[in-house]
Amino acid sequence: MIRALDAVRAIAFLMVFFFHERVFDFGWSGVQFFFVLSGFLITRILIATTHLPFKDYLKVFYGRRVLRIFPIYYLYLGVVAIVVHYLITARHLRYTDLLEFRQHAVYALSYLYNFFNVTVLFDNNEFLTHFWSLAVEEQFYLVWPFLIFFMMRKNINKWFLITVIAAGPVLRMMTFVFFNHSTNPWLTDNSLMAVYVLPFSHLDAFATGGLLSQIKIKGAPRLLLAAAAIALVAGYGSYLLEGYPIHSLSSLGYPHYLPMGYYKFLWGYTLLNIVFGLWIYCVASEPFMQKWFENKTMVYLGKISYGLYIFHLPIIYTTKGLIKAYSLTVPLPLKMIIDLLLVIAVAGFTYRYFERFFLGLKDRLFAKKASAKKPGMA
């Protein structure tokens, strides 16, 4: 594992954190960053183990994923369920978020929360809303190992990944058209939100990371700068062409739920995937960039980033509620510092005293056998 990539995880988390603190409109794309990084890392892992018999290949991958993902995920849901039950039954509180958690948690338990998002029953819940992206990740894990294994056996994995990337905008258009014309009373009429949360729209993010994990690129830092410049010009330029002022510099031209104007919801995700993918590639392959990203604090935050992501939104919501309940005056910068320190403390504690036990079981129970080939692409 490349240590510097842990710092990339930390950056992706901080983007999402400041988005939910409502100070960085572009921060929503931190989730997109996570998707591309997952594609980069998971594809490397899978290709390195395709020499194993299919049964062992799946056993090793899913065994290690379960130990990495499930414990803290279900611990969080279990603890919140107990607290919510106590607040409702013993304290007789009837806050909407508490009541909705009891109704909606079943979709999070089954990793279907993103599909629940596109129904009329969905409402934002500060304890669960961010779980849509974890559902997308899990759905990716259910499909990707099979695709990679059989594509590798046929030696066409490079073109398979390119095809998935090219299909990304097509899948987003199909999703948009379906929800825009659906007459099903149970489905949302917010087509852009449906594009955002459903897994079909993000297959190209995972494929972009996967492709960049397997190819060699000359002059990658220059390509990264060029891609970032193109993305900024396209993002801001599309606003200006529509006749709108650049209303928020912090969106970098890419507001949440990419808009319909100039079909940004089709190509915007693709451009961001390319920028994030090249960023990850440079950090993974360029020694001078690895030096920049090997800061100990950032690497540590990257190691506990899964817990940071799970706990951050409910902590932000809880501190906001306490400030309101006690009529406190807390400047936003101070609130953000308090929130971040609390999130780090909780995630750090659960990582050290809970997650690490299960992470230690990964190699004991599902050791990766030595690969007969290096993960790479001819």
Question: What was the pLDDT predicted at 247?
Answer: 57
Kindly report the backbone phi and psi dihedral angles of residue 182, in degrees, each rounded to the nearest multiple of 5, phi listed first.
-70, 140
What's the pLDDT score for residue 54?
A: 94
Interacting residues of 45 by C-beta distance below 8 A, sequence separation 6+: 61, 368, 375
Q: How far is 135 from 142, CA to CA, in rounded Å?
A: 11
Which among 367, 378, 377, 307 has a CA at the least distance from the CA of 343?
A: 307
The predicted pLDDT at position 376 comes to: 45
- Per-residue model confidence (pLDDT) at position 101: 95
DSSP string, 263-299: GHHHHHHHHHHHHHHHHHHHHHH-HHHHHHH--HHHH
The conformation of residue 119, written as its DSSP 8-state character, comes to B
Q: Name the 3-class secondary structure at 37.
A: helix
Tell me the pTM. 0.95
Q: What is the pLDDT of residues 88-123, one digit of tens each?
A: 999 888 888 899 999 999 999 999 999 999 999 999
The predicted structure's pLDDT at residue 156: 64
CB-count exposure of residue 241 (10 Å: 0-12, 13-18, 19+): exposed
The one-letter amino acid at 363: D
Q: pLDDT at position 240, please?
A: 80
What is the Cα–Cα distance from 145 to 273, expressed in whole angstroms? 21
Provide DSSP, 139-163. Answer: HHHHHHHHHHHHHHHTT-HHHHHHH
The pLDDT of residue 154: 67
Burial class of 164 by CB neighbour count within 10 A (0 to 12, 13 to 18, 19+): buried
CA 248 – CA 184 distance, rounded (Å):
35
Residues 6+ apart with CB under 8 A from 15: 24, 26, 27, 28, 29, 30, 33
In the predicted model, residues of the chain with pLDDT beneath 70 are 1, 153-156, 244-248, 369-378
Residue range 272-289, pLDDT digits in tens: 999 999 999 999 999 989
Give the burial string for 325-355 (b: 16+ CB within 10 Å, else e): eeeeeeeeeebbeebbebbbebbbebbeeeb
